[in-house]
Each structure stands twice: as C-alpha cells, then as structure tokens.
Amino acid sequence: MAVRALKIARAVAAFGLALAANAAHGGAEEGARLYLHGIGGDGAPVAATVAGGVPVAPAATACVNCHKRSGYGTSEARVRSAPLAGRVLFAPVLDGARPRPAYDADSLYVALTTGVAPGARTLDPAMPRYSLSRADAAALATYLRGLGAETPGVDAQSLDVVTIVSDTAPADVTAALLAVVERFVADKNAGSRNESRRAAAALRHPQGERRDRAWREWRWRVWRLHGTPDRWPAQLNALQAERAPFAVLSASVGRDWSVVHDWCESQRLPCVLPITDLPPDRPYDFYSLYFHGGALAEARAIARHLVPADAAPVRVLLLRDADPTAGTAAETLRATASREGADRVALDERVLPASASAAELDRAFRHGRPDVVVALLPAAAMRTVAAAALRDGVARVYTAESFAPWGSWSAPPALEVLHAYPYRIARSGAQFPRESVWLHGHGLDALPAVPASLALFACHAFGEGLADVNGVYSRDYFLESMEHLLDDTQMTSVLPRTTLAAGQRTLSKGAWLLRAGAGGRYATADWVAAN
C-alpha cells in the first residue's frame, strides 16, 4: 500500500512540478499542491466537507478529482464540474445556462469557504466547502490563471498529428498501421462537406457555428525511430523540436513501447492507442491510452483461470524461453497466482533453450509431475511441448496470443489447449465485419486483419476525441474527453469489450480463454477479467 501511495504521489507530484515550472507567478507551485493534492501552503491537508457537512479526505476533495487535470471540468453523476481554466474562470459568463461575473482571488476565497459564487449563486452541495486561508486561495488563483493555456501543435487552421514507428517493430504491423492511417487522414482532410470553407466563414461571423470553427486540417507525419530503444529519446526530442504535435495517433514500435510511453509522459504528450503487446504497467500515468494489457493481461487471465476460488490444488509447469517478454509475463503469472491462488498453486518454472530437446522437456515434466502446463513459447516450440505433455499424461496446456498466436500451430486432438486471446471472436462469418467493409472500400483487404482493424479504431477514437473537445484544444482535455466517449462507445472494435473511466488507460481489461476445437475453431470461450 505504501509503495502504491508513493507511486501515485510521484506521478502526480511530477505533473504538479512540471506545471509549476511553467507558472508565470510565484504561488503557482502552492496552488498546484492544493489543486492536485488538497495540501495547503502550510503543508497540512485542507479539511473539507461535502453534501451538507460530510467530512471527506483531502485527497478525495482535491479540485483535480472533479475539475480535472485540464481544468475544463466534467459532467458525471448529475454533477457538472465547471471549467476552472484561467481564461474561463477570470472572465464573466454572459450567456448560457449559468451567467456569472468574473471571479477574482477574493471571490474565489468566498466561493471555496462558503459555497457562494459571484452573482450570489449557491454552489451545488456536491462542491466541497473548504477550510482554507486567503493566502491559499490566492495561490490557487495564480495556479488557475495558468491552467488551460495554449497547447502546442495546433493553430487556427491545422492540427499536428504524428504516428511513431520503429525499426524494431514487426514490419507487417507497421505497414498496416501506416496504410490505414494515411487513408483515414486523407479522407478526413478531403473536406467532403467543405469543412475548410465553412470554418473560414464561421471565423468571420460572430454567430459562426462553433463546430465549424473547431475544424482543423490534420497535418500528419510519421516519426521513424532508428536503432536501439536507448537512442530513441534523443531522436524524439529532436523530432519534437522541429515541430511539436498536438498528439500521437497510434504507433508501431513493438515491445519496446515503454521507452516511448515514458518519453510521452515526460512531455505531457497524448499517445492514443499504440499497437503493442507489451504496454508498461504504469496504472497512474496519464498520457498513453492502450487497447489492452497485452502479454501481461494474458498472463493474469491464465493465472485466474488456473485458480478459481473454489478449485482444488493444482501443480503447474510453466515453460518459457529467454525472451524478456516471456520472463515478465511469467513473473506476472506467478505473482497473480500466489496473491489470488494462495496455497492452491504449486508452480514450477522452467526456462527452455532455443531448441529444447524432447529429453529436456521430459525431464521437466517428470520433475514437476504437473497437472497442467502453461507454455509462454512461440509456435515453433509448441509441437515438441505438446508431444511431451501427451507422453507424460498432462491433459491441459495453456498458451497465449502474444507468444503462439491462434492458428499458428495445431495441437494433437487428445490434448486440451486453452488459449488466452484478447480480440473479438466469431463463431462463423467475418471476425471484424465493419472494419472489413472500410478496408475493402479503400483497397486494403490484403492487410493483416488485426493490426489494420486496431489502426482503424485508433483513427476513429482520435477523431471522435477531437470532435468532442469542440475547439478546446487542450491535450489533457482531449484525453479526458476520450475517458467518457470510449466508455459507452458505439464504435465497433477489434476488442470484444471496451470500457473506460477517469484515470483508466486500458480499454479492454480481460481476455478470452478459448478451448481449441476441431478444424482450427474454438469449442468454448470463457471471458476472464485480467485487471
């Protein structure tokens, strides 16, 4: 718990310090601590009550919880948290549902302590009443003046978007991603409804349609990273210095993505849905959004399928090779099994050399005498493993999509194979019907279905997120918009179940455990939560 609290504190503090570093005035750093943590200038937590007197912990009543990192607020649970970004708060609202005079530091103090806003309106009971000093209110005002400031990568006509690829990623995935994004952006910019003309006209007219004024042409570029991942941050810095984008629209850098994740986090640059099966385990980070949990989610799903709460004890032989991803996945599986399976799982882990002989495998089996085998191994190794399993009387083998993709090998019929699979399944017919229609219409049928479908969803999500901010081009607000719109989305996806909420950054939080059947099809499918 202390480690986790430290992680949260570190992530939020880093953000706060980064923001404070940009502050024009002194006091912004204190203001950031208040806004993000609920800590006053004297270093003590600021007491607050909610809903007519319920005392609630300062961490829970910190402004950021409802008014968000962007300062543009949110609407949730019948509570509308107003925008606090400086240019909104310190200006009057003349029209709309709630007109009010401009705030200043004094009226901010009054509103926070008594719940009475300028214009004598009483704030909603869900808004806390704080016990804070005038000095704290002044520090907060300074911080808020700097919040919601201009974001790089966008001007009156265009918005800069990049897709990041590397030499280390699988070439077919990269090719699919770039082909889809290029066509999508071309369509979007084609202006089939004269968007650029309407935008120009809207800018000239005071009553111009807000949505038209919000339109931007996408200037899309590809950032290509070369060499080993340790050299990427310097390349990314140079690329950004040339021209900073508003956000990153997907990426294909394979399993080395965590280097880019960390760089984007340090730059406060949104990275929307990179294609990777090794997202880093950073649950408190903000800027990267993922399709699914990759190899680690598959490992957790397998561990949970192995040890349901009322199951008998089980002996497991965990086979993997020297691949670092397999090592991390094995660690995750072991940790999940021990934390949740308690003493019901006896796990024997073996690292196999590249071409393990049948004899080596037989030794591993005889030593462990397992009930089941988990194989975090590529397809090439699976035939030997399957043969050894049958010889040693082990009836069940678990495999995972990140290591031996579905359909890449065929198991002997006597062996029960359970495969962790993150994507949508179909009993019959097309697996990704909607995506297939788009791909076919653009002459891209030859692309591999999964990365092409993932790429298309990333494009749709990115576009919907930009539409939703409706001209408020804040990177943080863009991500916050997607937290809502991707939760209840009508967009189809290659992922079977997608949900999202504030602070969550992974769309699909589980995997299918498919029981292989005849003819390369699955016989049964169990959904296993992997969060």
Partner 1 sequence: MPVVHPRRLRAIACFATAAVALCTGAAARAAEPAADPHAHHRAMLSGSSVRTSHGAYAVPDVTLVDEAGRKVQARALLDGKEPVALNFIYTSCTTICPVMTATMLELQRSLRGGSKTPHFVSISIDPEFDSAPVLSRYAQRYGAKWTFLTGTPQDVRAVLDSFDANRGGKANHAALTLFRHAGAPHWLRVEGLASATELAQAWQSAP
Residues 432-471 that bind partner 1 (CB under 8 A): 468-471
Order the strands of the 48-50 sheet from edge to edge: 54-56, 48-50, 129-130
Please check whether residue 286 is in contact with residue 247, taking contact to mean a CB–CB distance below 8 angstroms: no
- 265/257 Cα distance (integer angstroms): 12
Q: CB 98 → partner 1: shortest distance, Å? A: 8
> Would you count residue 125 as binding partner 1 (CB under 8 A)?
yes
Q: CB 270 → partner 1: shortest distance, Å? A: 18
Q: CB 493 → partner 1: shortest distance, Å? A: 14
Tokens of 438: 């788009």
Tokens of 495: 């992922």
Other C-beta atoms within 10 Å of 383: how many?
13
Q: CB 5 → partner 1: shortest distance, Å? A: 9
Residues 130-159 that bind partner 1 (CB under 8 A): 148
- The gap from C-alpha 482 to its chain's centroid, in whole angstroms, comes to 10
Which residue reads 């030593």 in tokens? 367
Cβ proximity to partner 1: between 263 and 291 the closer is 291
Residues 276-335 that bind partner 1 (CB under 8 A): 309-310
Other C-beta atoms within 10 Å of 262: how many?
16
Instruction: Give the binding range for partner 1 (CB under 8 A) out of 27-35, 123-131, 132-140, 253-261.
Output: 123-131
Beta strands 506-508; 510-516: pairing state: unpaired
- 319/292 Cα distance (integer angstroms): 24
Q: CB 67 → partner 1: shortest distance, Å? A: 10
Please pick, from the candidates 18, 42, 76, 395, the single residue that binds partner 1 as defined by CB under 8 A. 76
Please check whether residue 454 is in contact with residue 291, taking contact to mean a CB–CB distance below 8 angstroms: yes
Q: CB 102 → partner 1: shortest distance, Å? A: 12
Please pick, from the candidates 15, 72, 421, 462, the single residue that binds partner 1 as defined by CB under 8 A. 72
Residues 325-364 that bind partner 1 (CB under 8 A): 339-340
Task: List all residues 6 or more positions away from 243 whose beta carbon is below 8 Å from its beta carbon.
Answer: 153, 160, 221
Instruction: Give the binding range for partner 1 (CB under 8 A) out of 52-60, 261-269, 285-293, 344-352.
Output: 52-60
Please pick, from the candidates 2, 24, 52, 230, the single residue that binds partner 1 as defined by CB under 8 A. 52
Tell me the angle at which helices 134-146 and 105-114 cross, rounded to the nearest 10 degrees: 120
Number of residues that bind partner 1 (CB under 8 A): 62
Report the Cα–Cα distance between both ends of the chain, in Å, rounded. Answer: 17
- CA 323-447-189 angle, to 5 degrees, is 115
Cβ proximity to partner 1: between 183 and 475 the closer is 475
Positions in the binding site for partner 1 (CB under 8 A)? 1, 4, 50-57, 60-61, 64-66, 72-81, 83, 85, 87-88, 91, 93, 96-97, 124-126, 148, 210-211, 309-310, 339-340, 468-472, 484, 487-488, 497, 499, 501-504, 509-510, 527, 529, 531
